[in-house]
Amino acid sequence: MSSKKAKTKNEASSSRGGIGGESIVADCGRNRSTCGYCKSSTRSSISHGLLTESLTVNDYQALLDRGWRRSGCFLYKPEMEKTCCPSYTIRLKASDFVPSKEQQRVRRRLERFLDGELDAKSSEQTEERDISFSREVSVSVRESLGVANREQNNQVEPIMKDLSEKIDDAVQRCIQSGEFPSNIQIPKASVKRVISAKRKKLAEGSEELLYTSNIAFPIVAAIRHTETSVKGEKNKNVEENRLSPEVVSEKLLSAMNKVGEFTAFSVKVCKGHINFLSATRVTSLDRNEGEESLGTTSTKSSLNNLHARKRKLEMLLKRSSFDPEEYELYKRYQLKVHNDKPESISETSYKRFLVDTPLIEVPPSGYDDEEKIPPCGFGSFHQQYRVDDRLIAVGVIDVLPKCLSSKYLFWDPDFASLSLGNYSALQEIDWVKQNQAHCSTLEYYYLGYYIHSCNKMRYKAAYRPSELLCPLRYQWVPFEVAKPLLDKKPYSVLSNYTNVSLSSSSPQASETLVESTSEHEDMEKGNTNNDGDEDDEMYNSDEDSGSSRNRSDITNILISLDGPRLRYKDIPRIKNPVVEKQLESMLVNYRKVVGAELSERMVYELR
């Protein structure tokens, strides 16, 4: 393969991939290795590989939707019928996401840490255990957790006391301005933490409701009592119409906004309640000298600016590049969490795994249709999480036309108790929701592979409602439909859903199956000639590739011959029949694993 770095859209000279540039791949054929999931002693993990240093974001999106993933510049796809642990691509439509109770606890736990109420103590438990904990504990433990949760909700937190004082100040300002009578006795404001069950009743909108105060109701009661005793029933009716809880809460909100004390908090009123909601804002940061300027954004919790918050959390999205600080964190993570040997970790392996990317960068500026691209553009990114400027986690992600694809996350072992894997996933789902306003096609969050036979991977199904990709027809199947099939055997044609009762599934699940498209001409066939003792296979000769049908299927594959791009049908006939048959066998299998459309769009590089 020619050595070239990923080009920007403006540098690209072709647009076969849809958004600038062209995809060039070299076929690595079948690869066998030991399995890190089932710990098999034999080379039972079987996949097909492609090597690339130039790949358009549209082409990679299409490859994801055929079951491919990338590790640096290496693309791989499990051979599902043959491999020991079939890996299904799993995704989630961000707008449909409903967080579980455990996921909500993760958010609250991190907020309590930022408030200074919790210390991030090192924990031996892995991210997978923490995320799936609520599904594994016994009923009695769950009940005790519920009691502890209720006791916690009744405790007065420092931030609640601070908010109450600010409301009291607003009440006094309303009295001084004449909006409230001065001859009434008003109780002190009380702010309470909102439990999840009541959040939808007290607030409207998508922001998370954290605290609320009903002070407007006792204020109205006190005013009515005073006006009735002094001026009589007639004036009572006038005041009743003028000062309802809704009106009083609006006046208090106005008084607080004039002082500007809640600029860092999202404060709203609803049905007479003053609600304090968790909000985020996106701001541009000054770039360090030498760092490329590409519209990098930082997402900060607006609660960080409230003086009661002891710690500040910052999230910085930057293009994929080598960062010594990130590398040091990666080493600590691999050594302490995965127990890797020190000699197995190097800058070279780290760059190859998490920094190198074949994706052709698409910047937001200069793009023809700016409504179809997020502010950061498309490509590969590192999402940094910092607490008081200390790097605690890095998420490696790809931003593509239809999705944010989560590739890897490494975090500081000192902060294991904060469940940063779960928290980062929730933040990435939120990011997709927020950026749909800029890119209407950006709807999905891809969580990588789901392996039903591996307990450590099952936590991914907790992000609901999720879908799994059928390995045969490449239809998206709701997890609830796929699960009964996977319970029976690790490999299953998930789109054979007619054998599963859909009576318990939602109408949306049925619609997803009906609307999915399939590519029946590309259905993969099993290898009946595999003896299991061969070395890594470069190519798979499952079929008689000399047949006229197979040759007609591969005629339009785009091939690179040291520069020129030609369709296979336009290449002069190879005189050596053995070489010709071997090449056609390679092309048949290549077309099978990438699909007809991509085989005619991406450039197949012959070495």
- The CA distance from 362 to 379, in Å, is 6
- pLDDT score, position 335: 96
Between 150 and 434, the more confident residue is 434
Listed range (68-82, 366-380, 433-447, 573-587) with the worst mean pLDDT = 366-380
Name the band, by pLDDT with cuts 50, 70 and 90, for residue 196. low
Please state whether the predicted TM-score (pTM) of the whole model is above 0.75: no
pLDDT in tens, 100-142: 999 999 999 999 999 988 887 644 444 443 333 333 333 333 3
Residue 188: its pLDDT value, please?
86
The 10s digit of each residue's pLDDT in 248-267 is 999 998 888 877 655 456 88
pLDDT of residue 7: 42
Strand partners, 396: 382, 408
C-beta separation of 30 from 536 below 8 A: yes
Please determine, for residue 6, whether its predicted confidence score (pLDDT) is greater than 50.
Answer: no
Q: Which residues contact 420 (CB under 8 A, 6 or more apart)?
A: 127, 385, 392, 393, 409, 411, 412
**In contact, 273 and 189? CB cutoff 8 Å:** no
E-only strand ranges, 251-355: 266-270, 273-278, 280-284, 297-301, 313-319
- Are residues 442 and 436 in contact, defined by beta-carbon separation less than 8 angstroms? yes
Output the pLDDT for position 525. 33
Domain boundaries, the chain: 24-86+521-605, 158-278
Per-chain mean pLDDT for the chain = 78
In angstroms, how far is CA 488 from the centroid of its own chain? 29
Q: Where does 293-404 have alpha helices with state H?
A: 324-336, 347-350
pLDDT tens, position by position, 197-247: 455 555 555 467 888 999 998 888 888 777 666 555 545 444 445 678 899
Produce one character per residue of 42-71: b if its CB has 16 or more CB atoms within 10 Å, e if not: ebbbbbbbbbbbbbbbbbbbbbbbbbbbbe
Q: Which pLDDT value is given to residue 297?
A: 40
Alpha helices by DSSP H, 87-177: 101-114, 127-131, 133-136, 139-154, 158-176
Joined together, the tokens standing for residue 143 give 């009940």
**Structural tokens at position 539:** 């190519």
The matching CATH number, chosen from 1.25.40, 3.30.230, 1.10.730, 3.30.1360, for 158-278 is 3.30.1360
**pLDDT tier at 36, thresholds 50, 70, 90:** confident
